Amino acid sequence: MNENLIKPPVEIRYADELSALRESDTGKKPENWVLSPKAVRTFILGGKVKTKDGTVEISKKFYGNDALVERCIITLAGNRGLMLVGEPGTAKTMLSELLSAGCCGTSTVTVQGTAGTTEDMIKYSWNYALLLSKGPCREALVPSPLLIGMEKGVFARFEEITRTPAEIQDSLISVMSDQILNIPELGDDGIVFARPGFNIIGTANTRDKGVNEMSGALKRRFNFETVEPVKDVRLEKEIIIREAKNLAKVGHIDMPIDEDSAEILAVTYHELREGITAEGTMVEKPSAVMSTAEAVSVFYQTISHAWYYGDGKTDLSVMTENLLGAVCKESMDDLQKLKLYFNTAVKQKSKKAGGKIWQEYLKASKILK
């Protein structure tokens, strides 16, 4: 199954690890959780577990802030929802998938918040053919992911919650405070009680702040965790390489990954995001999102280009073109900022000892016009 999916869900992608963790897990579990909080921690932050077949290495899947992951796990074991906020591309969705898969064994009970999300999509809707023929009954009810989560006692994930209008968001309040969903059409059978293990993980993008501000009442029902961009360039490079390898594998691209190019890209993204270079030169931050996820995307595009059109080697001019496309999305001012970055920071690095690859990168910047 894994081989045939573009993006298999976490519980399938890491089925072996989850199975090993389940086998070795001796910790106390909150009701309906498939793993104990300690095992969920190991699932996300990595480690080793002993099974009857030997020691199994659990890969580290989330980098940068281990304490945040611990707080998330404990929050989900309590009676408050978890809201992950942060810049785009900081792996909020990935973390929520990992938490859902680790705690409940499924990460697919998901509501995608958009400007067009309605209350039906959050609570329930009807199969109108059945509704007309049989009247309001359970058979005719189409449960939303939230309702499924309540009935099964698993986490419901609400992606991009602040893209949803505030009054729609507020329909979560009664569910979260009373753990009940009322379906008046079903009469006496219309009260659905949440089973233990149910909780909500929301994600919200800080760039959407103010679009649909959450009400105070809803905020009170969540614990908030801010997921920050990766602060360590070396770590960012590792993530770029690892994710690009995964994507290449799925895309059947079989070529070696050029680590130097990945490093250059990681440094570029890091410095443009922070507004300062390793040498202490101030650079202007582009208005575009300079996330690690964007860097992975740029790098994967570069690899794809090399695989399909090139000689299997990463071309820095192609990478610069892809970078240009990724950075200059929202404002043409970002082009100037990118050019300035090349003219100051990249030039400075190219003059240093061992700056040969930076010289090539600088040459590649000629396409920025």
Partner 1 sequence: MARVSESVKNSEVSEVQEKSVPFDLDSGVLLFPVRHHSPVCSYQLIKTIELYKPEIILIEGPENANSIIPALTHPDTVLPVAFYYFYKDTGKLVSEEAEDYKCYYPFIYSSPEYNAVKEAEKLGIPAKFIDLPYCDILINTSENSGLRKKADRHSYADDSHIVGGKFHSAVCEKTGVRNFDEFWEKYFEIAGLELSPEEFVHRMHTYCIITREMTSSEELIADGTVAREDFMASNIKKFSEEYKKILVVTGGFHSYGIYERLSRKKLKAPRTHKIPEKKQGCYPMAYSYPSADALRGYASGMNFPYFCDCITKSLQNGTEPCEVYNEQSLDFLVRTAKRSSKKNIPVSTADVISAKSLMTGLSALRNCRQCGTFELFDGVTSAFIKGEKTVSSSIPLDILAGLASGDGAGKIGDKSHIPPLVADFENLCTKYKLKYQSASEEIVEIPLFTKPKSTELSRFMHRMDFLGTAFGRMTKGPDLHRNTDRNRVREEWKYRRSPQVDSALIDHTTDGFTIEEACREHAGKILTEKRRCEDASYIAVECFLMGIPLSDEQKILIDRITAEDGDFFSVGRGLKQFEMLCRLKKLYQSKDSSPEKYLERCFSKLVSAIPSMANVPEEKADECSEIIRSAYSTVQDILTDWIEPFRSSLETLVSSPEKEPSVYGVCTGLLYAMDSDWREQAETAVKGYLNGSPETKKKGAGFLKGLFSSARDIVLNDDSFLNMIDSLITSLEYDDFMEILPSLRLAFSYFTPNEIQTTAEKVSKIYSSDGNILREDAVDESLFLFGESLDRKIVNILNNKYK
Residues lying near partner 1 in the complex (CB under 8 A): 37-38, 41, 45, 66-67, 70-71, 73-75, 77-80, 85-86, 206, 209, 214, 216, 219-220, 223-226
Query: What is the strand order of the sheet 222-227 is part of?
Result: 110-112, 155-159, 199-205, 81-86, 222-227
Min dist. Cβ of residue 75 to partner 1 (A) = 6
DSSP 8-class letter at 217: H
Of the pair 46, 105, the CB lying nearest partner 1 is at 46
Whether 117 and 111 have beta carbons less than 8 Å apart is answered as: yes
Whether 316 and 368 have beta carbons less than 8 Å apart is answered as: no
Min dist. Cβ of residue 71 to partner 1 (A) = 5
Of the pair 170, 185, the CB lying nearest partner 1 is at 170
Of the pair 44, 364, the CB lying nearest partner 1 is at 44
Q: How many residues does the chain have?
A: 369
Contacts by 354-358, CB closer than 8 A, 24 or more apart: 357/260, 357/261, 357/264, 357/316, 358/264
Q: What are phi and psi of 20, to 5 degrees?
A: -65, -40
Min dist. Cβ of residue 295 to partner 1 (A) = 22
Which two tokens mark 159? 């992606």
Distance in angstroms (rounded) separating the CA atoms of residues 186 and 144:
16
Q: Is residue 298 exposed (0-12), middle (13-18) or buried (19+ Cβ within 10 Å)?
A: buried
Of the pair 219, 313, the CB lying nearest partner 1 is at 219
Of the pair 73, 298, the CB lying nearest partner 1 is at 73
DSSP 8-class letter at 206: G
Min dist. Cβ of residue 100 to partner 1 (A) = 18
Of the pair 88, 190, the CB lying nearest partner 1 is at 88
Give the H or E element holding residue 264. helix 259-274
Of the pair 228, 259, the CB lying nearest partner 1 is at 228
Whether 45 and 60 have beta carbons less than 8 Å apart is answered as: yes
Min dist. Cβ of residue 214 to partner 1 (A) = 8
Distance in angstroms (rounded) separating the CA atoms of residues 124 and 295:
38
Of the pair 78, 116, the CB lying nearest partner 1 is at 78
Whether 40 and 102 have beta carbons less than 8 Å apart is answered as: yes
Which two tokens mark 296? 């992975």
Of the pair 291, 302, the CB lying nearest partner 1 is at 291
Q: What are phi and psi of 138, to 5 degrees?
A: -60, -35
Min dist. Cβ of residue 221 to partner 1 (A) = 9
Min dist. Cβ of residue 140 to partner 1 (A) = 38
Of the pair 33, 299, the CB lying nearest partner 1 is at 33
Min dist. Cβ of residue 38 to partner 1 (A) = 6
Provide the H-helix boundaries in 316-355: 316-327, 333-341, 347-350
Whether 261 and 299 have beta carbons less than 8 Å apart is answered as: yes
Which two tokens mark 297? 């995307």
Min dist. Cβ of residue 74 to partner 1 (A) = 4
Min dist. Cβ of residue 234 to partner 1 (A) = 15
Q: Per-residue DSSP letters for 236-250?
A: HHHHHHHHHHHHHHH
